[in-house]
Chain A
Amino acid sequence: MKKNIYINGLGNISPQETFYKTMGEEVVEAEGAFFACQEPNYKEFIQKKLLRRMSRIIKMGLATAQKALVDANHPPLDAIISGTAWGCVKDTEKFLETILENNEEYLTPTAFVQSTHNTVAGQIALLHHDNCYNMSYVQGYVSFESALIDAMLLFYDNKAKNILVNGIDEQTEKLGILLERLQCANAETAVMGEGAACLILGAEKTPNTYAQLAGASMLYRPKNKASIQQCLEQILQEANLKLEDIDVVLTGNQDQSLEMALFPEAAFSNYKKLCGEYPTSTAFATAIAAQLLKGDSWTKTALGINKKKVQHLLIYNNHQEVNHSIIVLSKVAQ
């Protein structure tokens, strides 16, 4: 049965100043083809002796989890669910390079152990001694959405009261070259990005609640625009909303004609100008959307949203006409 789900805590590492603040006073713009994250001092969150084994993405995942848990006042977790397309790609590269350099001998254990996609979710559980449901979704450009929908289903089935959900992906130079070669990325049209965003979802509203998660859905290779529209209308209907109720659309798409036609009264912003293009960019979008709905003026300014009243917000991302995803958030009255 459908239930109310609230975003009660956030941790966000992105190319913008989103970790220590909600958003920097000035928008950081990408220089070159790669939009790198502004990382915090990890020693504030992770013991030094543990840090030395962790690659960047693990540190990012753990620091954002820690920040979100503190922000949500440490609720007991019933599930830890990660979404990542590239996983611990730096450790994977390191491990593969060692295999090549040493002719398949002298393989060190650390890079291997930490090259798997579920390392971050596992490390969060180890660090917080949480032996609850632990899942990692590796579903390309809808990895975060898959994690989010799993969390929603756990709430609907009464199997959870608090869930940690994150979307994490790191970029490396080699990965950028490979993605271009495979025609999965084009540095000339989209700046490649990276990020780690963590949400603490709760079945109950708290004094810290940012927004309500009203719905989420994914579409795989939709036949035409009408089927996307149908999906949008259905998700809004399930949230007791109509197309005209949406005040802001955060889009990840270069061609925004469909969104503009469906939501003529809404304010638009392309969130990828703040984080670049990467598979779990919608986690970043969800985090900043939640901040915006809570009334954060810095986020509103960074997104260039002038609308005074924002009650309902829709995030729509379409990756190469293959993976479409929709997330709907609503303002919560405190």
Chain B
Amino acid sequence: MEELIEKLKVQIIKQLNLEDVEPNEIDPEKMLFDADNELGLDSIDALELIVLLDKEYGIKVKSQEEGKSIFQSLVTMAEYILEHQK
């Protein structure tokens, strides 16, 4: 799990082009799309994360509701990947 979270951090930084953000600056417990999150992610980033899940882990997000629970935080993302990865 820890290893996957670290891998996800690097992949997210690359996919979302988060300039000047280091992996250790991303709190895995923090809400990813919260207004208080300094990453400042928005709906286009959500689309980018859906592509990332599909491309890197072969997981297709089927509904908006499902997406909301998967992308709550890095921890929820990692848990979902471990459960559903083909």
- A interface, CB within 8 angstroms of B: 48-49, 51-53, 102, 105-110, 113
Contacts and interface: CB of A to CB of B under 8 A. Distances in A.
Given A52-B16, A109-B44, 7 more contacts: A49-B40, A52-B17, A52-B19, A107-B51, A108-B15, A109-B47, A110-B48
B27 to A, nearest CB: 17
A43 B54 CA distance: 33
B20 interface: yes
Contacts of A52: 16-19
A107 B15 CA distance: 12
Contacts of A107: 51
Contacts of A102: 55
A106 B17 contact: no
A108 B54 contact: no
A157 B53 CA distance: 53
Contacts of A109: 44, 47-48
B66 to A, nearest CB: 19
A48 B17 contact: no
A48 B20 contact: yes
A167 B80 CA distance: 48
B48 A108 contact: yes
A51 B19 contact: yes
Contacts of B19: 48, 51-52
Contacts of B54: 105-106
Contacts of A53: 17, 44
A108 B19 CA distance: 18
A102 B44 CA distance: 20
17 contacts: A48-B20, A49-B40, A51-B19, A52-B16, A52-B18, A52-B19, A53-B17, A53-B44, A102-B55, A105-B55, A106-B55, A107-B51, A108-B48, A108-B51, A109-B44, A109-B47, A110-B17
Contacts of A108: 15, 47-48, 51
B1 to A, nearest CB: 25
A106 B40 CA distance: 23
Interface in B32-67: 40, 44, 47-48, 51, 54-55
Contacts of A113: 44
A251 B68 CA distance: 58
Contacts of A51: 19
Nearest 3 Cβ contacts at the A-B interface: A49-B40, A106-B55, A52-B17
A107 B54 CA distance: 11
Contacts of B17: 52-53, 110
Nearest to A110: B44
A53 B40 CA distance: 12
B72 to A, nearest CB: 20
A110 B15 CA distance: 10
Candidate in A51, A102, A106 with the most chain B CB atoms within 10 angstroms = A106
A52 B15 CA distance: 11
Nearest to A49: B40
A192 B3 CA distance: 47
A49 B20 CA distance: 10
A109 B55 CA distance: 14
A30 B51 CA distance: 41
A104 to B, nearest CB: 13
A53 B16 CA distance: 8
B64 to A, nearest CB: 16
A102 B47 CA distance: 17
Contacts of B55: 102, 105-106
Contacts of A110: 17, 44, 48
